[in-house]
Amino acid sequence: MKKLIMTLGLALLIAGCNATTPSKPMSLKEQYEAKLAATQAAVEKAASVEGEWRDIRWKKSKKKYLPSAIKAAEAGDYEKALKLLDIAEFQAKMGYQQAMAEKNAGPHLYGM
């Protein structure tokens, strides 16, 4: 039984790899472009529920992960840009999730 699962797992892994490895790997620039679009969508989604966090793109934030990523990419540093987008996208998703989790927020949760 255990063996079977392991073999199955291995098979899936291989199949998975095959499925996700394109014949030509994405260039850093392409990865950046895809990630940028995904991040921007995630940020808009968080903002649409009043859940955007401070350091994603607000003009007075010292970090401004999203605009900083775009700057890095413009300077040709796609690796740095991707790292910054990672943070921005994560924060945007968390902000959205947080807003969803807070849908029922109200005085009843504060002993009133």
Partner 1 sequence: MKKIVTLLLSAGLVATATQAFSSPQEDLQKFRTYFEQKFPGMKLDDFGNGSYALDESKRIQWESMEEFPPYDEFVDKGREIWEKPFKNGKSFASCFGSDPSKVRVKYPHWDSKTQQVVTLEGDINKCLKENGEKPFGWKKGPIAWLSAFFGYEARGQKINVKIPNDPKALEAYEHGRHFFYAKRGQLNMACADCHVKYPGHFIRGNLLSTALGQTTHFPVYRAKWAKKSKDGDGMGTLHRRYGGCNKQVRARPFKAQSKVYRDLEFFHQYMSNGLTINAPGYRE
- The residue among 5 and 112 lying less far from partner 1, judged by its C-beta, is 112
- Distance of closest approach, residue 39 Cβ to partner 1, in angstroms: 15
Q: What is the smallest separation between the CB atom of 63 and partner 1, expressed in angstroms? A: 10
Q: How far is it, in rounded angstroms, from Cα 85 to Cα 66?
A: 6
* Residue given tokens 């392991």 in the structure block: 6
Cα gap 102→44, rounded to integer Å: 18
Q: From 79, 81, 99, select the one nearest 89 (Cα to Cα).
A: 81
The residue ranges that bind partner 1 (CB under 8 A) are: 47, 50-58, 61, 91, 94-95, 98-99, 101-102, 104-112
Contact 69, 36 (CB under 8 A): yes
Rank residues 5 and 109 by Cβ distance to partner 1 and give the closer one. Answer: 109
Q: How far is the CB of 102 from partner 1 (least distance, A)?
A: 4
Q: Which is nearer to partner 1, 29 or 54 (CB)?
A: 54
Angle at CA 83, nearest 5°, toward 79 and 84? 115
Nearer to partner 1, 28 or 87 (CB): 87
